[in-house]
Structure 1
């Protein structure tokens, strides 16, 4: 009986200590999620190129063969359009919600004619778009976002130093902007 009481008491004390540690360490981890870091890059609806070393938000481009840019958005009022002209040999786009769940991804081989042309809309906006199709969106890939906020990660491959300028130019020319009139 004493052994059982000792085991229960030890378990309770261990649980209390564990909960205290978790509660005290929580402020250390708050605000360090990917969405918060992308938001810290600057204003919404604009691509920000990431450098090789971590910036003030703690984001960095960790792959020497890729150039990376991020953009955070809110589609509550208007849908978002992601555009870029034909780019380097390989590029990819990934869309995430504010909880860093991937909601969509594509690359140059799955795009229409190699161009980036994506429209991100919430369910209400999607219903409106389906009701009255817009001619300007005939070649756009339309993505329904369940939540209004999120971020996009655009990557361009540059496996050789001679291709870095083309990849950087592709990211600079990329547009992440709300759509008027939808």
Structure 2
């Protein structure tokens, strides 16, 4: 009988210790979501090209080693985010993830049927404001509503061979991810030939 009481008291004490430890460690683990871990690649509002994925040194889990990857972490607390990129002719895809790393939206070269990416990410309130005051420069943009105010965008592009790697990485490095809904800058006019 005494032995049973000791086991019960010991079990209750052990459960209490485990409960207190879990409560104390929750804030530390709560900050280790996907959005927070993306912050190690660089500042928000810009794409950062990830190093090539090699066994044992992957910057993120499950990356395809035949692909080049770029990630942009964003916050919609103030304004929508516009993603612009000119991608190579080979396969590419774009995915929008929420803070926890769940896929919200995805697009690839076949569904887009074009090589340029022009995507606006907005909350429902921001989307309502855009509908009330349409911006003509967004006529060709894909506008999506997301349920979260923070997330990240991952672009990946297929590298056909070693010679193609620099071109693919340059396209990803030139991708834009900013709260800028203005039209892209106009190309400079060609210089007129001078008369002799």
* 8 Å contact kept, 2:33–2:99: no
The verdict on how the C-alpha distance between 1:44 and 1:28 changes in structure 2, with shifts beyond 3 A counting, is closer
Q: How does 1:2-13 map to 2 (within 5 A)?
A: 12=12
Deviation at 1:9, TM superposition (A): 6.5
Instruction: Show structure 2 runs of 5+ residues with no match.
Output: 183-196
- Give the match for residue 178 of structure 1: 179
Structure 1 or 2, whichever has the larger Rg, is: 2
Q: Secondary structure in 2 aligned to 1:150? A: strand
| TM-score, normalising length: structure 2 | 0.74
Deviation at 1:72, TM superposition (A): 0.9
CA distance in 1, matches of 2:181, 2:115: 25
| TM-score, normalising length: structure 1 | 0.79
Deviation at 1:41, TM superposition (A): 2.3
CA distance in 1, matches of 2:24, 2:76: 35
- Give the match for residue 142 of structure 1: 143
Q: Secondary structure in 2 aligned to 1:153? A: strand
Q: Secondary structure in 2 aligned to 1:40? A: helix
CA distance in 2, matches of 1:53, 1:108: 22
User: For the aligned residues, what is the CA RMSD?
Assistant: 3.0
* 8 Å contact kept, 2:52–2:68: no
Q: Report the number of matched residues.
A: 178
- Give the match for residue 165 of structure 2: 164
| Structure 1 runs (4+) greater than 3 angstroms displaced | 4-18, 20-31, 58-62
Instruction: Show structure 1 runs of 5+ residues with no match.
Output: none
1:66 paired with 2:62, answer no
The verdict on how the C-alpha distance between 1:53 and 1:87 changes in structure 2, with shifts beyond 3 A counting, is closer
Deviation at 1:151, TM superposition (A): 0.9
The verdict on how the C-alpha distance between 1:30 and 1:147 changes in structure 2, with shifts beyond 3 A counting, is closer
